[in-house]
Amino acid sequence: MKRTRDDMDIVWQTPANPPELHDYIFRDGIRYVKPYYFEFISHVKNRWAKKTIVDLFTEEFKGRPRDYYVSAVKEGRIQVDGQVVPISYVVQPSQKISHFLHRHEPPVMAWDIQILQKEPEVLTVSKPASVPVHPCGQYRKNTVIGILQAEHGLAPLFPIHRLDRLVSGLLILARNASRADLFRQQIESGMVKKQYVARVIGEFPEDEQVVDANVNYNAREGRSTVEVRDDYGNGNTSLQGKSACTKFTRISTNGSHSIVLCEPITGRTHQIRVHLQYIGHPIANDMLYLSESVTKRSAEGLSADRADARSVISVDQSSHQCHKDEADYVSEEDFRIDPMCTNCPNLAPKGYDGHELGLWLHCIRYSGPEWVYECPRPDWAFLD
């Protein structure tokens, strides 16, 4: 869909527009996405009905000032059922509302996504930290799926497991839906074994440690906690979390840090991270779980995603190759600034001002019936 306003061509993009090489800008080791126009769709809830279109946006979407919404309605960047409406228009239940935005995606580190194995039905890659696997939240093109499509023409791809954005390592992608379904059936039936390595605080015990403790994930805070029954075996106590079990084996230690093999039997959110904290050996650069007294995110006004990013401290990621050298940065063409955009002229959206280098947690191996895929350990997983 193409519109022209004030001598500026605007091409509205949808998920049907695949990421392309020219969509990315590289600066100082960071991968940015050139801002683009995108249609965000919502439907009028009952509690929104009878409000004017401007009042609805001002009250429900407080990230922008009222003056912006007035201008957006007048310019046709906010529409109702595909039609331009006046600022006094009163919305009705179930109507479709389109908000056409100059979208600024969060940046990620510019490390290459290394292809490990390329088979007719399966692709395995080494996912760098800071890059989400698939489109989610504000990320669409700055994802493993988007980058592989733009740089290698690999599509469609079906991730058969997930890695958190700040976690690196082995990622298995099926190249067709039937193979993806087979992988998922094997995972759900408990036929797949997973292995990670982590660098943790302290001298980890020499004997294998098995943690069998419920994990309760708080989506609002973006943080998990461990729940266990008391020592008196109170069977009437209702645990809110989900059952979770992880095996840990020490690989090496220098007294202050240890490299630990982590084998999650279940797959709960932040399971490895919170189980390591529970036994007194949190991941050494995981500020979210290094302390019990982490400030609550909701109190700080941070989303879970952003709080994760701000909690990460600098790490050695020399095992990753930077995607562009300095000579390439200056040759990138600039992007067109939108006079109505509340993020321009910055490439990143508001609040994304730090370098997100990732956790010392890396997936190294997945194995199932008659198949094994592996990924090399990163540099930080070897102690001097």
**Structural domain includes residue 208:** yes
Candidate list 6, 55, 81, 164, residue with the active-site label: 164
Give the model's pLDDT for residue 313: 35
**Structural domain includes residue 222:** yes
**Structural domain includes residue 228:** yes
**Nearest-angstrom CA–CA distance, 44 and 40:** 13
Give the full edge-to-edge strand order of the sheet including 24-27: 24-27, 30-33, 108-109
31: pLDDT strictly greater than 90: yes
The arithmetic mean of pLDDT across residues 95-106, rounded, is 92
Largest Cα–Cα separation, the chain: 74
258: pLDDT strictly greater than 60: yes
**Structural domain includes residue 261:** yes
Secondary structure of residue 109 in the 3-state scheme: strand
**Structural domain includes residue 135:** no
98: pLDDT strictly greater than 80: yes
Whether this prediction's pTM lies above 0.75 is answered by: yes
Q: 280 is in which domain, residue-wise?
A: 192-317+357-381
What's the structural domain count of the chain?
1
Q: With cut-offs at 50, 70 and 90, classify the pLDDT of residue 320.
A: low
8: pLDDT strictly greater than 80: no
**Structural domain includes residue 296:** yes
Give the model's pLDDT for residue 237: 61
Q: What is the dihedral of CA 12, 13, 14, 15, to 10 degrees?
A: 180
Give 79-86 contacts, CB < 8 A, sequence gap 24+.
80/53, 85/53
Q: With cut-offs at 50, 70 and 90, classify the pLDDT of residue 11.
A: low
**Structural domain includes residue 85:** no
Calculate what percentage of the chain has a pLDDT beyond 70: 82
Q: What is the pLDDT of residues 151-198, one digit of tens each?
A: 999 999 999 998 999 999 999 999 999 999 999 999 999 999 999 999
**Structural domain includes residue 55:** no
Q: What is the pLDDT of residues 326-349, one digit of tens each?
A: 434 334 456 788 888 888 998 999
Work out whether the CA dihedral 239, 243, 244, 245 comes out positive or negative.
positive
Contact 149, 204 (CB under 8 A): no
Give the model's pLDDT for residue 232: 56
Question: Is 23 among the residues known to form the active site?
Answer: no
Give the model's pLDDT for residue 99: 93
Give the model's pLDDT for residue 280: 96
Q: Which two tokens stand for residue 199?
A: 């660098």
Give the model's pLDDT for residue 85: 96
What amino acid occupies position 306? Answer: R
**Nearest-angstrom CA–CA distance, 215 and 231:** 18
DSSP state of 209: E
Q: Which two tokens stand for residue 258?
A: 């240890």
Q: With cut-offs at 50, 70 and 90, classify the pLDDT of residue 321.
A: low
Better-predicted residue by pLDDT, 322 or 352: 352
CATH number assigned to the domain comprising residue 209: 3.30.2350.10
Q: What is the pLDDT of residues 135-152, one digit of tens each?
A: 888 899 999 999 999 999
Q: With cut-offs at 50, 70 and 90, classify the pLDDT of residue 63.
A: confident
